[in-house]
Every structure is written in C-alpha cells, then in structure tokens.
C-alpha cells in the first residue's frame, strides 16, 4: 500500500487550500492509500473540513500561524520551524509527498534529496510574488518531481521556466442534486473577509444597483480580519439589506436559497467557491481576476466575466441579471453542466496518473 503525505502550513485554517487538501486526502484514503497530513501549525485546534478519522494529522508545532503573508515575522516563524518540519517529513516515510505552495516547498527543500517523490501544488497565481522571489521559486521548483498548477494561465507561465510543470484543476468539494429555484431576490458571496476577496468593492457595486432593484439582498458568508471595516462601509451606505452571515458548516445547503452568485476577488489561485455555486446551478458573475475565474467560466461561456476592477461594468451586468429571469435560467443550466468537469472522480484520475 502506497503512502501519501500532504505537507501544509496549517490544516486548521478555513480556506480553499485546506479544503482541497482534505478532499484529496479523503479520496486517496478511499482508494486504498495510506494517508498522513503534516501541518506545520495548529492555529484553530481542529480541522474545519470533513476528514476521515483514519487519516493521521501530525501537527509539527502546536502554536498559531502568525504574521501577515510575506512579512518578516512570518518568515522568521517559518525558518525557526524548519528543522522540526524536516524531521516530521523524514519520519513520515511516505512514498509520495504533496507539498502546498512556495513557503512549504522552501521549508521542505532539504527533504527533496531522497529517493521519494515530492510534488508541489502552487495555489497562488504566478505573479503573486515579486521578481526576486519568483526567480528563486522557479530555481527551487526544478528539484521537485512535478509542479502542479491549478489553472492554465499559471501552467503557461511556469512552463517557460520549468519542464516539470503540469496542470490539475482543483476538485469540487461536493456534488449536489438540489438546484436553486431562482425565485429569491437574494445574492450570495462566499469567502474570507480579507482584502483579496474584494468584498469592499462588492458593497460599492450593490450600493449602485440597490435603488433600481428594491427588495433584493446581498449575503456575504465568511469571517476574517476585514469584518469591522466591511460593517462600517455597509453602515456608511445605510444599507440594511447587505448582511455578513459569518461562517457556516455545509455551505452547499445554502447556495440553493439564492438566485445569483457574485465573485469579486482581486486575485485568486483558482476560485473554488465559484465552482461550488455552479454545482448548485447558480448564475455566476465574476471579475476576470488573476487567476481561475476565466478558466472556470470558459472566458465567459459559462457565466458573466467582467474586466478586473471595472465596477461600472460589473454593476451594469449584475443589474441586468437581477431583472432578466430568462438569462438567469440559461446561466443556471450551463453552470451545472460546466461543474461536472471538476467532479472529484475526474480530477483524482489525473492525480493517480501522476503518482503511478
């Protein structure tokens, strides 16, 4: 029985990376693999996504993941943990290691020089880092067995510097037979309440369309450091029909209660919540941010894609969708069709080929 070990910064976080890892871990286990997850930190003291009880989770450090992304404080914390992570990976004695993104790939680098295979999944878009970091990252990734890109855009950019880059999309986190009825005057957005997700922009957009569409509500699901800022912005507009809904279990039970899904991110690695909404048959409108939405929506074939940051255009497209029932029905049908391309069985078959 082959053993697969996932290496991640903090499996207790709530986000797309953590969800993808638990999905893949569960799928590998169900297919007969021995699976372990090595998590460098243990911020929330529990895994927030469903994980088979037979999958071992090894927390290298019991402390919190602190510091802003890219900050000196976080870098210092990472480096001080490198030796402990090295030992945990070595002791795992897996046949195949799946390492998540550049920081963990950097910390795991000395483990790569063994007879085991190491793959790195790059979850953030290629141009997230500056020139110097990108140069170092590309050099580092040459030593990995494969670099898995989750979208076509990143594959194209990595392939200019690496001959070991491949593309495997992120899988859907669930399958749903329930479809939205499109009759509710409610719009849904889902994601961490952070700058990246652009919910401040979304509030501006909804404020523009609100007067012409009375009775509609915008519900934003998620938690994060920008919650107070977003509440203040909502209060400035005096909009009691924008609601911050917090974090919920089983988000798939909530999507069908809405008629439109909006995706306002400034940048992404992939955009899993967009896929989730499509699986529930929601008409989707998204900024064409780097990277993910354009690929998921087929450059506008399966949903409405708006030039990144163009608030005026997004507002106009949203207003049109809110008032056009036939358009909502059409987009709902093609959303569901498109989502089938990302079901877990199809994505896992690509992982199995990579490993075998």
The predicted pLDDT at position 21 comes to 98
Stated length of the chain: 356
Average pLDDT taken over every residue of the chain: 94
Domain for residue 350, yes or no? no
Rounded Cα gap, residues 133 and 137, in angstroms: 6
Is residue 309 predicted with pLDDT exceeding 60? yes
**Same domain, yes or no: 140 and 257:** no
Say what angle helices 16-30 and 272-279 make with each other, to 10 degrees.
60
Domain for residue 228, yes or no? yes
Rounded Cα gap, residues 342 and 229, in angstroms: 35
Domain for residue 220, yes or no? yes
Domain for residue 135, yes or no? yes
pLDDT digits (tens, 9 = 90+) for 41-79: 999 999 999 999 999 999 999 887 665 555 555 667 777
**Same domain, yes or no: 193 and 159:** no
**Same domain, yes or no: 77 and 201:** no
The stretch 256-278 carries a mean pLDDT of: 96
The predicted pLDDT at position 221 comes to 98
The predicted pLDDT at position 78 comes to 74
The predicted pLDDT at position 172 comes to 94
Ramachandran area for residue 329 (φ above 0: left; ψ -120 to 50: alpha; else beta) = alpha
Domain for residue 30, yes or no? yes
Which residue range forms the structural domain that includes residue 331? 186-341
Rounded Cα gap, residues 353 and 347, in angstroms: 10
**Same domain, yes or no: 27 and 148:** yes
Q: What is the DSSP letter of 222?
A: B
CATH classification of the domain holding 96: 3.40.50.2000
Domain for residue 356, yes or no? no
Under the banding of pLDDT at 50, 70 and 90, the label for residue 190 is: very high
Is residue 134 predicted with pLDDT exceeding 60? yes
**Same domain, yes or no: 191 and 258:** yes
Domain for residue 174, yes or no? no
**Same domain, yes or no: 161 and 28:** yes
Domain for residue 354, yes or no? no
Is residue 252 predicted with pLDDT exceeding 90? yes
Say what angle helices 325-339 and 272-279 make with each other, to 10 degrees.
110
**Same domain, yes or no: 106 and 217:** no
Among 10-19, 103-112, 225-234, the range with the most confident prediction by mean pLDDT is 225-234
The stretch 228-238 carries a mean pLDDT of: 98
> What does the longest C-alpha to C-alpha distance in the chain come to?
64
pLDDT digits (tens, 9 = 90+) for 191-224: 999 999 999 999 999 999 999 999 999 999 999 9
* Secondary structure, 3-state, 234-298: HHHHCCCCEEEEECCCCHHHCHHHCCEEEECCCCCCCCHHHHHHHHCCCCEEEECCCCCHHHHCH
pLDDT digits (tens, 9 = 90+) for 138-174: 999 999 999 999 999 999 999 999 999 999 999 998 9
């Amino acid at each position: 029985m082959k053993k697969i070990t996932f290496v991640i910064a903090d499996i207790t976080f709530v986000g797309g990376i953590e969800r993808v890892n638990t999905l893949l871990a569960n799928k590998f286990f169900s297919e007969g693999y021995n699976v372990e997850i090595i998590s460098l930190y243990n911020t929330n003291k529990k895994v927030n996504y469903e994980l088979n009880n037979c999958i071992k989770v090894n927390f290298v450090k019991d402390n919190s993941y602190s510091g802003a992304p890219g900050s000196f404080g976080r870098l210092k914390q990472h480096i001080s943990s490198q030796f402990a992570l090295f030992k945990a990976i070595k002791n795992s004695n897996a046949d195949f290691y799946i390492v998540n993104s550049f920081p963990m790939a950097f910390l795991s680098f000395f483990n790569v020089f063994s007879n085991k295979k190491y793959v790195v999944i790059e979850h953030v878009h290629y141009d997230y880092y500056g020139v110097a970091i990108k140069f170092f990252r590309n050099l580092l990734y040459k030593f990995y067995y494969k670099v898995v890109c989750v979208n076509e855009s990143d594959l194209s950019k990595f392939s200019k510097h690496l001959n070991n880059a491949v593309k495997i999309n992120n899988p859907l986190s669930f399958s749903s037979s329930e479809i939205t009825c499109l009759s509710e005057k409610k719009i849904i957005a889902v994601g961490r309440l952070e700058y990246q997700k652009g919910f401040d922009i979304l509030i501006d957009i909804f404020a523009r369309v609100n007067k012409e569409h009375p009775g509609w509500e915008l519900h934003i699901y998620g938690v994060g450091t920008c919650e107070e800022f977003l509440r203040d912005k909502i209060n400035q507009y005096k909009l009691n029909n924008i609601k911050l809904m917090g974090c919920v279990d089983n988000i798939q039970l909530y999507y069908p209660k809405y008629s439109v899904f909006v995706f306002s991110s400034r940048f992404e690695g992939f955009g899993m919540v967009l896929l989730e909404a499509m699986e529930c048959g929601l008409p989707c409108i998204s900024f064409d941010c780097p990277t993910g939405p354009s690929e998921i929506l087929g450059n506008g074939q399966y949903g409405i894609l708006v030039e990144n940051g163009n608030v005026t255009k997004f507002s106009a497209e949203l207003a049109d969708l809110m008032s056009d029932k036939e358009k909502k029905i059409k987009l709902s049908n093609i959303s569901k069709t498109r989502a089938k391309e990302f079901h877990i069985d199809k994505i896992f078959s690509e992982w199995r080929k990579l490993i075998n």
